[in-house]
């Protein structure tokens, strides 16, 4: 198993799974404590990454980071995104319960998801800003990546990006899908929620687990260097798009 380098990702997930029951238990005892625990974990993650990036001068992209393990592979650099999902999951649970239990009708989750359920403008705004933020966070990395070997972003800007980008990305993703989660936004549900995608989701996860091993094996046994033209790079890009 030592050669399966992507197991760090599964190890992180297992640590988060072990911490999740604590938050759920707090929520079942006192709902407010569940909210506070989730928010505190998210904020703690952002502060931790910000401090590490500032002290050890991490750039905004791991491609230029000689010590990327610290704020990319380590669980303390990633748990914020997980607990964004936990927080929105609690809110979604409250919205679902509000349909059958009047005691949940005034909960934050019922109010939040109720806005997406009952107001088309709110759904459109969620999709617009959610998708816009996602694309921004992806595309902004080009400003640093366009020149290799040189750090372009100021350190303070890199600190903020490293601290916030995962959490903000997850919030944007949830805003984009909120309408579909409450039974609206039929096109999004058709494209992303079709049952035909289920088997492919499992296949792509298997590909994720194996791709680095296969790539390492391929390059290790090659007798000559690999020359990639722009046309071949485009072919690879389309192949990756189809698989992922």
Distance CA(196)–CA(52), nearest Å, equals 42
Residues 6+ away with beta carbon under 8 Å from 105 = 98
Q: Name which of 81-95, 175-189, 230-244 the model is least confident about.
A: 230-244
pLDDT band, very low/low/confident/very high, at 1 (cuts 50, 70, 90):
very low
Report long-range pairs for 19-27 (Cβ below 8 Å, ≥24 apart).
Answer: 19/79, 20/86, 23/83, 23/86, 27/90
Mean pLDDT of 41-68: 92
**Confidence check: pLDDT of 3 > 60:** no
pTM (2 d.p.) = 0.81
The reported pLDDT for the residue numbered 244 is 53
The answer to whether residues 196 and 83 touch, using CB atoms and an 8 Å cutoff, is no
pLDDT at 149 over 60: yes
Angle at 73 between CA 72 and CA 79, to 5 degrees: 80
Q: What is d(CA 107, CA 131) in angstroms, rounded to the nearest whole number?
A: 27
Task: Render pLDDT for 179-238 as a digit per residue (tens, 0 to 9).
Answer: 999 999 888 888 887 777 778 878 887 777 777 777 777 777 777 666 777 777 777 767
């Amino acid at each position: 198993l030592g050669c399966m380098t992507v197991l760090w990702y599964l190890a992180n997930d297992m640590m988060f799974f072990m911490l999740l029951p604590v938050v759920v238990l707090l929520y079942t005892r006192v709902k407010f404590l569940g909210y506070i625990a989730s928010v505190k974990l998210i904020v703690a993650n952002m502060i931790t990454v910000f401090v590490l990036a500032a002290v050890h001068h991490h750039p905004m992209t791991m491609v230029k980071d000689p010590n990327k393990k610290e704020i990319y592979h380590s669980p303390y650099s990633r748990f914020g995104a997980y607990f964004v999902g936990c927080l929105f999951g609690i809110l979604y649970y409250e919205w679902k319960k509000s349909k059958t239990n009047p005691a949940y009708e005034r909960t934050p989750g019922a109010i939040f998801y109720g806005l997406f359920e009952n107001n088309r403008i709110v759904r459109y705004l969620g999709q617009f800003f959610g998708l816009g933020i996602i694309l921004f966070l992806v595309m902004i990395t080009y400003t640093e990546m366009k020149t290799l070997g040189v750090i372009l972003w100021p350190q303070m800007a890199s600190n903020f990006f490293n601290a916030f980008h995962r959490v903000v990305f997850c919030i944007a993703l949830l805003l984009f899908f909120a309408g579909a989660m409450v039974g609206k936004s039929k096109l999004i549900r058709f494209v992303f929620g079709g049952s035909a995608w289920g088997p492919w989701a499992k296949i792509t996860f298997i590909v994720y687990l194996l791709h680095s091993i296969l790539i390492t094996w391929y390059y290790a046994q090659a007798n000559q260097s690999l020359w990639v033209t722009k046309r071949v790079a485009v072919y690879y890009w389309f192949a990756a798009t189809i698989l992922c």
